Amino acid sequence: MMRRMSLNRREFFVRTAPLGALPFLPDKCNDLFVQAEEPFLHGVASGDPLARAVILWTRITPSPEAPEVLRVDWVIATDPELEHVKKKGSVVTSAERDYTVKVDVEGLRPGTTYYYRFTSVGHDSILGRTRTLPEGSVERLRLACTSCSNYPYGFFNAYRLIGQRADLDLVLHLGDYIYEYQNGAFGDGTALGRLPEPDHEIVSLEDYRKRHAQYKTDPDLQEAHRQHAFIVVWDDHETANDAWTGGAENQQPESEGDWEARKQAALTAYMEWMPIREGSHDEQGRIYRSFRLGNLVDLIMLDTRMLGRDQQLANPCDPAIADPERQLLGEEQETWFLRELTKSQKRSTRWRLVGQQVMFGQLVNATEQGVCVFNTDQWDGYAAGRARVLAAIADKAVDNVVILTGDIHSSWAMDITGNPFDPTQYNGASGEGSLAVEFVTPGVTSPAIEDPLVAAALAQQVLATHPHMKFVELNRRGYLLLDVTPERVQAEWYHVVTLSEPLADEDLAGVFVTESGTAHVVAGDEPTPPKPDAPALAPELVPVA
């Protein structure tokens, strides 16, 4: 159900411009809009922007009488009225790809905001807005980071808030975009009317397609996609909980069949339904990739989940955690990653942002067996792989590495070093010995510690026992805003005030900064102001109920 919104006359003309033969009929315009939206129930989206290209995405909801193969026209312009058209074209879609539509528009200009729309079976999609990556000298970038949007757990207010920020260059989604469970297994959507579809654990291609389709009907998620280009990576729940290359915690071969078949079904639906650039056939399933944002940022996106990960160890005290044979990225991706870091350093890009899934920094727990890692699914469970990354950063003098993480449904900022508990190697107060920093985004809805008092006490305990941790919040949901200049990266955590109703209000929960050349997180003073020259959001052309 879309929210009730008023429509002004200018928006009416934007919306109906291509239906030029239709007269202006104010008393019937609502019907017209509702009708015009029908083939585009899942909104529009854009993603994987480059300096001169971007992926545009939509999905046609075909009527039963529709032909098997549908033609879809698209247009992209520099103004919301679509008067200054820069590119247009046609593609076809069919049941073979679940009527999803993906266009890689090329020949665009760097650092430019565009507006786009699809047309098919006589109807127009809602208007979308996107932005290409900048080139050359860049003074400031603003990015939102997000993860872990579980439909039954509540309304996607964090997405709505992201959609309202006109000055974002980009949105990073760091995984758990969908969850695979039936209702009640992880969140009960009964009271909120947010039951997962289909209401059983998803296993087949049809299941994964239906779940993606349901998420893409959410008006808040649609709005975030409609206003911003996304760069996405999957985590485990796009397939099944605690996935690794050979299986998953939430995969029972006796009742759910072959893991490889399930994984392929999940990844096929992901590629169909997400605005991600698809590789050539032999690259299917390879989502690690990098992006250049002028001389300010190189963005390196990793897959710590599906490609090279060995199985998680069951025992968090298992000495095999240190086994150098254990892989998280896999050899090929790890080699690529380290090469990307050094290449970026050599060309003197100011910042290296690394978008990835699971917490990189050390998180330990006192147990009867001694001090053990908290969670073997994180980099802690693959200590040798982490050590190799840090050795490369140190050996090649790679500076200004900022790791961006999802997965853990909570808000964190920390220094990254080989052994933060050894005062001869690392000084938590000065940051001496630190090699990088990490910022962790909370979930859109997924929970960490539900009791706020327990969460606060636990956060204090973690801060007191982990010298590299500078900010820990374990209760609230929201998103992470990054403001990047040549001098510093500022991270701001915005938490939503409720999950139980659609309400786009937020609290600023934390401001932390890393200055260029320090690899050290310190508390910041003030939130950054919005960019003064943000391009207009795409008008709210939403059908009135």
User: Which amino acid type is present at position 66?
Assistant: A
CB of 171 to Fe ion, least distance (A): 17
Q: How far apart are CA 316 and CA 320, in angstroms?
A: 10
For residue 46 the two structure tokens come to 């854009």
User: Which amino acid type is present at position 488?
Assistant: R
In the complex with Fe ion, the residue whose CB is nearer, 223 or 235, is: 235
In the complex with Fe ion, the residue whose CB is nearer, 373 or 448, is: 448
User: Which amino acid type is present at position 28?
Assistant: K
In the complex with Fe ion, the residue whose CB is nearer, 176 or 180, is: 176
Sign of CA dihedral 523, 525, 527, 531: negative
Short-list 375, 392, 361, 391, CA closest to 469: 361
In the complex with Fe ion, the residue whose CB is nearer, 176 or 303, is: 176
DSSP letter assigned to residue 322: G
Q: How far apart are CA 490 and CA 488, in angstroms?
A: 6
**Residues paired with 185 in a beta bridge:** none
Packed helices 29-37 and 9-16: angle between N→C axes, nearest 10 degrees: 40
In the complex with Fe ion, the residue whose CB is nearer, 230 or 234, is: 234
Q: Contact 385/337 with Cβ under 8 angstroms?
A: no
CB of 455 to Fe ion, least distance (A): 17
CB of 117 to Fe ion, least distance (A): 33
CB of 441 to Fe ion, least distance (A): 11
Q: How far apart are CA 281 and CA 251, in angstroms?
A: 26
CB of 149 to Fe ion, least distance (A): 9
In the complex with Fe ion, the residue whose CB is nearer, 120 or 410, is: 410
DSSP state letters, 357-398: SS--S--EEEETTEEEES-TTSGGGGHHHHHHHHHHHHHTT-
Packed helices 157-164 and 219-227: angle between N→C axes, nearest 10 degrees: 30
Q: How far apart are CA 248 and CA 251, in angstroms?
A: 5
In the complex with Fe ion, the residue whose CB is nearer, 76 or 444, is: 444
In the complex with Fe ion, the residue whose CB is nearer, 130 or 150, is: 150
B/e letters for 11-44, b = 16+ CB within 10 Å, e = fewer, are bbebbbeeeeeeeeeeeebeebbeebbebbebbb
CB of 443 to Fe ion, least distance (A): 6
Binding site for Fe ion (CB under 5 A): 148, 176, 446
Coil, strand or helix at 9: helix
CB of 176 to Fe ion, least distance (A): 4
CB of 40 to Fe ion, least distance (A): 29
CB of 148 to Fe ion, least distance (A): 3
In the complex with Fe ion, the residue whose CB is nearer, 33 or 234, is: 234
